[in-house]
Amino acid sequence: MMLFLWGIVTSSKQNKYIEPVIKAPIIQSLDSLNNSLDKLNKVLDERD
């Protein structure tokens, strides 16, 4: 019984560490996209 509980606790701790690793590249991509759109906006504003 204790081994079973230890397995559940261990796997739940591992899942919490996996989540931020998955989110990090998405956040970086969105930041990159946001920066690119800002630069594009500036260029378009200068043309007017």
CA 21 remoteness from chain centre: 7
First to last CA, the chain: 72
Report how far residue 29's alpha carbon sits from residue 1's, in angstroms, rounded to the nearest whole number: 44
Domain containing residue 37: 2-46
Report how far residue 33's alpha carbon sits from residue 19's, in angstroms, rounded to the nearest whole number: 22
Predicted confidence at residue 1, as pLDDT, reads 74
Report how far residue 15's alpha carbon sits from residue 8's, in angstroms, rounded to the nearest whole number: 11
pLDDT (tens place) for every residue of the chain, 48 residues total = 777 776 766 665 555 555 555 566 778 888 899 999 999 999 999 886
Number of folded domains that form the chain: 1
